[in-house]
Amino acid sequence: MALFDEKANTYDDFCLTPIGTFVDRIERDMMAAIARPVRGEKAIDLGCGTGTYAYWLRDMGLSVVGVDLSQDMLEVARGKRKNEVTFQKADLAHLPFGDNTFDLAICNVVLEFIDEPATVLREGFRVLKPGGRLIVGCINKYGAWGKKYTRRGQEDPMSIYSHAQFLSYEDILKIGPNKPTDVRFGLFVEPEEFRDFEIAIQLEQTHRQRQDNIGGYFVIRFEK
């Protein structure tokens, strides 16, 4: 967590770049399609970081709790708006909430940085109400983006990716709380292919039709 504390003030910078805007758009659209948030639901963002997805859910009319172990990340999240989302410091492997509390739990690009991802998934599932959904988004270790971030982590010990262990869809199947009800792959545009946001969006659709492209990101839905 110390590394994330150090990166808290610059963590959102990537999403402000053209390529970061593209990645965020693809991942968020996929998350929305799989999670299908409903106004009035109670949601928890597991590993909320600087609150990007927590506020996204809040803007859709959900009541949201964001949980993270990095105090500095949470301070950045709290500073973005006032009293719209409840942010709480907690260990994702030991959530301070009772069973059957939330309608929706999201965990986006978090398991890659967790020592016990299976435990985190079980905890996220535990706090869901019957019929609730646990939505997990991961950088695919077999995709170009996962390989790029792996190299970055190997080359730069100060990169957050130096501690990442990227996962595949098959890895999540082995540790998931039950059989997933939906999965979606995306981010088929590789980092070196990016030239422009609009062109990348079009290229993403073209690549999606091909069978030989490995998505750089995937989202899985588990239902309780």
* Residue-range domains of the chain with CATH: 2-223 (3.40.50.150)
φ/ψ of 137, rounded to 5, equals -110, 135
Q: If DSSP codes are grouped into helix, strand and coil, which group holds residue 18?
A: helix
**Per-residue model confidence (pLDDT) at position 5:** 66
CA angle 174, 204, 139 (to 5 degrees): 30
Structure tokens of 162? 């130096």
Which ranges of 93-217 would DSSP assign to H, the alpha helix?
117-126, 144-155, 169-175, 197-208
**Per-residue model confidence (pLDDT) at position 158:** 83
Q: How far apart are CA 31 and CA 108, in angstroms?
A: 9
**Per-residue model confidence (pLDDT) at position 2:** 54
Which ranges of 41-116 would DSSP assign to H, the alpha helix?
52-59, 71-80
Indicate the burial class of 17 (C-beta count within 10 angstroms; 0-12, 13-18, 19 or more). exposed
Which pTM value belongs to this model? 0.94
**Per-residue model confidence (pLDDT) at position 169:** 96
**CA-CA distances (angstroms) from residue 137 to 4, 78, 156, 157?**
19, 23, 24, 24
Q: What is the pLDDT along the chain (224 residues), one digit of tens a residue?
A: 556 766 677 778 888 899 999 999 999 999 999 999 999 999 999 999 999 999 999 999 999 999 999 999 999 999 999 889 999 999 999 999 999 999 999 999 999 999 999 999 999 999 999 999 999 999 999 999 999 999 999 999 888 888 899 999 999 999 999 999 999 999 999 999 999 999 999 999 999 887 667 899 999 999 99
